[in-house]
Structure 1
Amino acid sequence: MSASGSSQRIAPSVLIIGAGLGGIMLAILLEKMGDVDYFILERSSSPKPLGSAMSLTPSIQVLFEQLGMLEDLQKISLPFLAAKVFDDKLNCTGEIVYEDQAKVIFPRPDLFNLLLSKVPKNRIAWGKRVLKLEEDTENAKDKVLVTCGDNTEFTADVVVGADGVYSSARQNIYKVMSDKGILPKVDKEPLNVGFTCMVGLTGTMDPEKYTELKDDVAHFRSVVGGARHNWGCVNMPQNRFTWQLNLQYLDEKEAKRQQFMNSEWGPESNREMIDQFKDLPNPFGGKMSDFIDATPSELVSKVFLEHKLFKTWHYGRTVLIGDACHKFLPAGGNGAVTAFQDAVILANCLYDLEDKSAKSVKAAFQSYYEQRYPMAEKVYQMSGVLSKVISGRAWHDRLVRWLAMTILPQSIQKRQYVKEVAYRPQVMFLPVVDSPDMVPALPQKPCKRYVRETREKEALEKKNAKAQAVRRDSAVKGGETAVAV
C-alpha cells in the first residue's frame, strides 16, 4: 500500500546521522514511504565500502524481497551451508552445519555498494562530522538543530543516530540526560573489552590454484590458533576471498590503547599486526600472506571490536539504531541484521505518525524501543555465547566447542535456527511477503495507519463493486426492455 493514501498525515522531516548499512537501509525505506523528507549526514569524505564476509538468513532476506532487491542480493552471494573450525595445524576440530537453511554469504563492500545505489545522490552529504544536537524550540520551531564540524547547520523533526558504536548522536543525548541526572547507570559504563580485528577482500584469485572458487557454495574456514591468534577465510563470488585476523583477550592496558587507536572502520597500515599473521597457514592452502598481499590497500581495514547493549535508545526527538545502541561481537553475524531490523521497525513507527508533535514523536520512539529491545537483548546474549564457542580459549570454552560441534545433535542447531527465522519483521507500507515454505512468523505489531488505510481501501473497493453491480443490472434491464419493444 502506498503511503500517499493518507491525506490527513503531516509527515516528519528526518535527518539520519551516518551512512553505514543501517542508516542507508533506513533511507531506502523512507524513500519507499514517499512522503518523508529525509537527508543523510556522513562524516567520511566519500563512500568507504569496507569489511569482510557477511551472512543473512531468510529472516532478513524477506526485507530484500519486499524492496525488490532479492535478486540483486543473490547475485553478490553464495549459499552458506556450513562453518568449519580448525586448530593451528589445520586439523578440523568441528563443524556447524546450516544445511537447508537458505543462508547466503557475501562481501560486505558489495552489499554496501548495492544499498548505496538505491539512495538518490542528492539525499547524502559527505564530509559532515556532527558536533552538536540541540532541540531549539524557539529558533528551530520545535525541531532538532544539528551543527557540523564545518559550521553548517541542519534542522529536522526527527534525528536518527546511525553513526556506529562511537555515535555522536548518542553522546549528545546522553550528555543532556546525564546533566539532568536521568541517564541510567549502565549507560555510563564503558564498552566491554573485545579484541582487535583486521579484515580484507582480495582481488581476483586463480581458481586453478584455489579450486574451491569453482564451487557454487561458500566454504567458511576458521582457525583457532595458539597464543591469542584466530583467523579465517571464505571464498566469494567473482573468484575472491574475504579474510579476517583476530588478536583476542587483550589486557586492560592494551585494550584501552586499541580503543583509542581504532574507533572506526578504515584502511590502516599496521605492519605489526600483519607480521604476526602473514606466515600462519592459510586454510585454503599456502600462507595467510598470499591473501593479504592480494588485497588492495583500500580494502584492508582494522577495528577494535567491543560489545555492549545500551539501555537508552531515544531521548527527545533523537533515536538510535544499529551499533549506536547495541554492539555485538561478530561471531553470530548479527550486526547488520539487527540494524536492518531496527530500520524496519523504526520506519513502521514513523509511517504511523499522524503529526510532528513532540508527544507523537516520543510515542513512536517508545513503540520502536518496546518492539526491538527484547529481541536485541536475546541477540546480545547469544552472540557472546557463540563467540566463546567458536573462538574461546579457556578450557571450558574448548569443551563447549567440542560438545557443540561433535556431540550436539543437528536437531538442536536447527531448533535455534527456527527461533531466529520466526522473527522476521516486515515493512507495513509495502506488500507483505508470504513465505509458506518457512516456519510461521512471530506476530508483528500492526501499524494503526496501515490498518485504517487497508479498511478504507477495502470499503472503497466494496463500494465500487456494488456500484458496478448496479450499473450492470441497469444495463441488463435496459436490454430486456429494448427486446420487448
Structure 2
Amino acid sequence: MPLHPPPKVLIAGAGLGGLFLAILLEKAGIPYHIYERTSTVKPLGASMGINANILPVFDQLDLLKDLQKIAFACTTLELYKESLKKIGAIDLSGFKEKAGYHTYIFHRPDFYELLLTRVPREKISFNKKVVWVLQNKEGVMIRTSDNETHHGDILVGADGAYSAVRQNIYKDLTKKGELPASDAGGFKMGFICMVGTTNPLDPEEYPELKDDHCHFKTHIGKNKAHSWVTTTLPNNRISFIIAEQLDEQVAKDFAFRNSEWSSESNAAMIKQIYNFPIKHGREGEDKILGNLIDATDPGLISKIFLEEKLFETWYHGRTVLIGDAAHKMQPSAGQGAVNAMEDAVILANCLYDISGGKEPVTPELITKAFRDYREQRYCHAKFQVENSQEMAKLLNGQKLSERVVRTVVYNLPRWIMNHVYLKQAGYRPQVMFLPTVPNPKGLPVVPQKPSKRYQEEQTAKNGSDVYLDL
C-alpha cells in the first residue's frame, strides 16, 4: 500500500523563526517554501543571545560549533548607574556546568546568515509579501504582492508582530464571530529602541575587546526613562541598545506618527543620547555612546518600536502562527527570538507526527497537530511575556521601589541566582525525530511529549523499544 505524501508547508516570513522552522522541516523530510516580503534582508540589529533553553537543538542540528565561531560566552551581567558607579553583577560563570551550555552573545546579522546557509536558496523567494489567504478542505492558497498565487497544505505565519497572515485569518474569524475580544485589540506600546553595532574598533582604545568572552553592561539613566546596554562582540566590535520607556499616551502617539521613523527622527534621538556615558575604554578614559555611534555605519543604525501582546488564537483552519505573530515580547529578558525558535521546534515535532504516510493529512489531522502545538507552547510563552514585562521594570523603572529591587537582584548570592537561572533552563524542548541530547544530571527538566512516529520507526529499525532521556 503506497504511503500518503507529507503536507506541503508554506512559510510566510524569512526571519529567525521562519528560517529555523525551515531547517527543521528539511530534517523531517517535509516539503516547504518560504515567502519573504522584503527584496533582501538588511544586516540591521545589535547583539542577541541564546541559552540552554534552545541550545540542545543546536547540538541536534550540528549548529553549535558554527554558532560558537561567531559568538562569545557571556559569564557576567554587569549593571551601572549613569554615573558609572557599579550597582552589581550577576555571575553566570558556573551556569554551563549545571545547565550544559553557556549563554552565547553574538551579532544578530551574523546569526541570521548562519541560519540562512542551512536553507537551500531555491526554497526561499524574496519580495513576496503575503497579502491574501484562502483556505478550504482541499488546501491553502496565498496571493503575494506581485499578484502570484501559491498553493500548499499548511500555511505558517512567521511574518512578525504585524503579521499579514494573522490579519487575514483574524478577519475571517471576526466575520464568523469567533475571534476573542482580546485578540481584536492592539498592542501594548512601551519602548522606543535604537540599536547598532560598530565597525571593528582598536583594542588598545577598548581593552575589553582583547578578551575572548562577552562584556555585557547595562546602564540605568538618572531621572530619565532611558537604559542602554553595550556588549563586546567577536571581531573587535561593540553593539549598543538604547531603550526609552514611554508612558501609554506618548507611546500611542509615536506608534502612529510616521515622522518618528524618518532619518531626521534618528538624528534627533542620536542627539539626545549621544553623551550618555558607557563603561568601556582605557582606565580613567570612559567613553560615551557617541563614540560607538560615530564608529557605526549610519545606515546600519535602526530605530524600532517595542510593543507586546500575547494572542489567544494561534491557528485557524490550515494556518498557524509562530514567533512574534503569536506572542510579541519586550526584549528585556532576551527571549523573543528564543521563543520563536522554540515554537518552530514544537510545531515541527507535531507536523512530523502527522506526516508518516500511513494516513492522509486531512484538515482534522492538521487541526489536531496545531492544537497540540499550542497546548505545548502557550503556558511557557505566557510566562516569558510576563517575565519580559517584569524585566523591563527591573532594568528601566525609576520608582524608588524599582531602584531598590534592582540593587537587591544584582547583589543576590550566587547560589540564589543559579537556582533562578537553572529553574528557567529546565524548559529545553528538543527535536523529537532526531537523537536527543542527554540532560545534565541534577537539572530538573520539564517533561516533553515524545514522538510516537519516531519511536515506532526506531523500534522497527532496532527491533526493540526506544526510551528517550528527557
Whether these two folds match at TM > 0.5 is: yes
Paired with 1:95 and 1:170, the residues of 2 have a C-alpha distance of 40
Paired with 2:250 and 2:239, the residues of 1 have a C-alpha distance of 30
For 1:138-287, list aligned pairs within 5 A: 142-226=138-222, 227-258=224-255, 261=258, 270-284=266-280, 285-287=286-288
> Does the C-alpha gap of structure 1 residues 366 and 52 become closer, same or farther in structure 2, counting only changes over 3 Å?
same
CA deviation string 1:71-115 (max 9, x = no partner): 001011111111111111111112222222221111111100100
For 1:393-408, list aligned pairs within 5 A: 393-406=398-411, 408=412
Find the counterpart in structure 2 of residue 475 from structure 1: none
The yes-or-no answer on 1:40 pairing with 2:40 is: no
The yes-or-no answer on 1:367 pairing with 2:336 is: no
- Kindly state the Cα deviation for residue 9 of structure 1 after the two structures are TM-superposed: 4.5
Find the counterpart in structure 2 of residue 420 from structure 1: 424
Paired with 1:342 and 1:242, the residues of 2 have a C-alpha distance of 27
The 8 Å contact of residues 267 and 302 in structure 1, kept in 2 or not, is answered as no
- Kindly state the Cα deviation for residue 136 of structure 1 after the two structures are TM-superposed: 4.6
- Kindly state the Cα deviation for residue 459 of structure 1 after the two structures are TM-superposed: 2.2
Paired with 1:382 and 1:267, the residues of 2 have a C-alpha distance of 33
2:454 to 423, 444, 450: 450
The 8 Å contact of residues 78 and 237 in structure 1, kept in 2 or not, is answered as yes
SS of alignment partner, residue 54 of structure 2: helix
Paired with 1:246 and 1:306, the residues of 2 have a C-alpha distance of 12
- Kindly state the Cα deviation for residue 337 of structure 1 after the two structures are TM-superposed: 0.8
Paired with 1:332 and 1:187, the residues of 2 have a C-alpha distance of 24
- Kindly state the Cα deviation for residue 7 of structure 1 after the two structures are TM-superposed: 6.8
- Kindly state the Cα deviation for residue 27 of structure 1 after the two structures are TM-superposed: 0.5
> Does the C-alpha gap of structure 1 residues 454 and 337 become closer, same or farther in structure 2, counting only changes over 3 Å?
same
Runs of 4+ more than 6 Å apart: 266-269
Paired with 2:321 and 2:415, the residues of 1 have a C-alpha distance of 37
The 8 Å contact of residues 313 and 320 in structure 1, kept in 2 or not, is answered as yes
SS of alignment partner, residue 446 of structure 1: coil
* TM-score of the superposed pair, with normalisation by structure 1: 0.89
- Kindly state the Cα deviation for residue 448 of structure 1 after the two structures are TM-superposed: 1.6
- Kindly state the Cα deviation for residue 282 of structure 1 after the two structures are TM-superposed: 2.3
Find the counterpart in structure 1 of residue 104 from structure 2: 104
Find the counterpart in structure 2 of residue 331 from structure 1: 332
- Kindly state the Cα deviation for residue 251 of structure 1 after the two structures are TM-superposed: 4.3
SS of alignment partner, residue 131 of structure 1: strand
Paired with 2:396 and 2:6, the residues of 1 have a C-alpha distance of 47
Query: Which residues of structure 2 form unaligned runs of 5+?
Result: 96-101, 281-285
Paired with 1:356 and 1:333, the residues of 2 have a C-alpha distance of 36
| Aligned-partner residue type, residue 151 of structure 1 | N
The yes-or-no answer on 1:53 pairing with 2:47 is: yes
* TM-score of the superposed pair, with normalisation by structure 2: 0.91
SS of alignment partner, residue 278 of structure 2: coil
- Kindly state the Cα deviation for residue 299 of structure 1 after the two structures are TM-superposed: 2.4
Find the counterpart in structure 2 of residue 481 from structure 1: none
Paired with 2:320 and 2:39, the residues of 1 have a C-alpha distance of 24
The 8 Å contact of residues 189 and 251 in structure 2, kept in 1 or not, is answered as no
Paired with 1:334 and 1:361, the residues of 2 have a C-alpha distance of 28
The 8 Å contact of residues 51 and 109 in structure 1, kept in 2 or not, is answered as yes
Query: Which residues of structure 1 form unaligned runs of 5+?
Result: 1-5, 463-485
> Does the C-alpha gap of structure 1 residues 210 and 180 become closer, same or farther in structure 2, counting only changes over 3 Å?
same
The 8 Å contact of residues 83 and 97 in structure 1, kept in 2 or not, is answered as yes
The 8 Å contact of residues 190 and 248 in structure 2, kept in 1 or not, is answered as no
| Aligned-partner residue type, residue 17 of structure 1 | A
The yes-or-no answer on 1:13 pairing with 2:14 is: no
Percent identity between matched residues is: 42
| Aligned-partner residue type, residue 245 of structure 1 | I
The 8 Å contact of residues 267 and 299 in structure 1, kept in 2 or not, is answered as no
Paired with 1:98 and 1:382, the residues of 2 have a C-alpha distance of 19
Paired with 2:92 and 2:259, the residues of 1 have a C-alpha distance of 33
Higher relative CO (Cα under 8 Å, sequence separation at least 6) belongs to 2
> Does the C-alpha gap of structure 1 residues 298 and 414 become closer, same or farther in structure 2, counting only changes over 3 Å?
same
Find the counterpart in structure 1 of residue 66 from structure 2: 72
Q: What RMSD, in angstroms, separates the aligned Cα atoms of the two structures? A: 2.2
Structure (1 or 2) with the larger CA radius of gyration: 1
Paired with 1:267 and 1:44, the residues of 2 have a C-alpha distance of 20
SS of alignment partner, residue 270 of structure 1: helix
- Kindly state the Cα deviation for residue 333 of structure 1 after the two structures are TM-superposed: 0.6
Equivalenced residues, count: 450
| Aligned-partner residue type, residue 32 of structure 2 | Y
CA deviation string 1:42-86 (max 9, x = no partner): 111112232111111122111111111110010111111111111
